[in-house]
Amino acid sequence: MNKARYLIPDDYMADPAVHVFDGKLYIYPSHDRESGIPENDNGDHFDMNDYHVFSMDDIEGEVTDHGVALRVTDIPWAGRQLWDCDVTYKDGKYYMYFPLKDKNDIFRIGIAISSKPEGPFIPEKHPVPGSYSIDPAVFGENGKYYMYFGGIWGGQLQRYRNNKALESAFFPSAQEPSLCPKVVRLSDDMLGFAEEARDLLILGKEGRPLTQGDTERRFFEASWMHKYKGTYYFSYSTGDTHRLCYATGDNPYGPFTYQGVLLTPVVGWTTHHAIVEYKGKWYLFHHDCVPSGGKTWLRSLKVVEMEYNGDGTIKTIDGGGEQ
């Protein structure tokens, strides 16, 4: 498929996590709605309150809506804003990791568990100890599972250093190394962190860390990890410059070297994505705001085929928005 396809025309879904379970594609998006909250840089207008799960037997085929898998009102420690999630499988159980503000308006990462990929998911009574910020993405191999997380501005990553909350949030100067996404190995029971979260360092090809002022390349949010021909690909959003970029490394912890733009800007403020192989081809799932007339808080899911060059770099995909 050379042209992007909208997947769920009757509802607004965004921030997809996508995996192959039992031979099917399962999509775990956030669920946009008209919250009535004024738009601001903290993302208060993104007041999602439930998750649906979708599945597909074929990339061109019908999309099945399995209904609501988890609601804010199901979660004992909930405050507001059920942002993007991810799901992984281990030993007969499906684990959903989700960001949610607690009753003090601080983002934590929660866990909900199901015996089926479509849910429903039953939440744990408390968030993951030591968790913070947003955008959990889980990558597993050889019996080990790694979580990648973090997002600046409304995602609150600027409120922390060395996994500790600051009295006052601040950003590095434009010339200093940028704030990094986080990576942490999950515990064997999948219910916590097995270690201290560490910075996932993104370097330029000259070997120096990207700087906070390098807004066309530095990390903002939307971590995703996949592996292709033995190489690890970390992809992410640059946020206010509206790109999806990617970097490569030789292990799950990095460091990673910046390679280029995966997706040029879409219609809408930013984008969030998943990359998955299915039936021998690779696909990029993401979203834009075309069906809603450009309303950034009402986004629609899309999928398009993704291709590699012979040297392992990814062919840039045109997002259709302003450059």
Candidate list 86, 118, 221, 288, residue with the active-site label: 221
Task: Name the one residue in this structure whose structure tokens are 């190489």.
Answer: 231
323 pLDDT more than 60? no
| Domain contains 311 | no
Q: Is 319 among the domain residues?
A: no
Question: What does pLDDT average to over the chain?
Answer: 97
- Per-residue b or e along 95-123, where b marks 16 or more CB atoms closer than 10 Å to that residue's CB: bbbbbbbbeeeebbbbbbebeebbbbbeb
What is the Cα–Cα distance from 152 to 179, expressed in whole angstroms?
8
* Annotated catalytic residue within 15, 32, 84, 214: 15
Let me know if residue 321 belongs to a domain.
no
Other Cβ atoms closer than 10 A to 47 = 19
Inside any domain, residue 198: yes
Q: Read off the pLDDT of each residue in 169-190 and give the average, rounded to a whole number.
A: 98
Q: In this structure, are residues 305 and 4 in contact, taking their beta carbons and an 8 Å threshold? A: no
CA dist list (Å): 18 to 3, 115, 123, 270, 295? 19, 18, 20, 19, 24
pLDDT digits (tens, 9 = 90+) for 230-267: 999 999 999 999 999 999 999 999 999 999 999 999 99
Whole-angstrom distance, CA of residue 40 vs CA of residue 85: 22
For residue 148, being part of any structural domain is answered with: yes
Q: Is pLDDT above 80 for 218?
A: yes
Q: Is residue 275 part of a domain?
A: yes
Residue 321: band (very low, low, confident or very high) from pLDDT cuts 50, 70, 90? confident
Tokens (6 digits) for 230: 């033995």
Domain count, the chain: 1
| Average pLDDT value for residue range 224-232 | 98
Of 241, 91, 269, nearest to 178 by C-alpha is 241
Each residue's pLDDT tens digit, 260-274: 999 999 999 878 999
Report the predicted TM-score, pTM, of the whole model to 2 decimal places.
Answer: 0.97
- Condensed to tens digits (0 to 9), the pLDDT of residues 91-146 reads 999 999 999 999 999 999 999 999 999 999 999 999 999 999 999 999 999 999 99
What CATH number does the domain containing 220 carry?
2.115.10.20
Known catalytic residue at 15: yes
> Could you tell me if residue 23 is inside a domain?
yes
Active site residue 60: no
- The boundaries of the domain holding residue 281 are 5-306
Radius of gyration of the chain (CA): 18
Residue 1 has pLDDT above 70, yes or no: no
In 3D space, the residue among 268, 287, 323, 278 whose CA is nearest the CA of residue 305 turns out to be: 278
Angle at 41 between CA 36 and CA 45, to 5 degrees: 20
For 34-68, what is each residue's pLDDT tens digit? 999 998 989 999 999 999 999 999 999 999 999 99
Torsion angle of C-alpha atoms 249, 151, 78, 65, degrees rounded to 10? -70
Cα separation, 200 vs 214, in Å, equals 17
Q: Is the peptide bond before 172 cis (omega within 30 degrees of 0)?
A: no
- Residue 317 within a domain: no
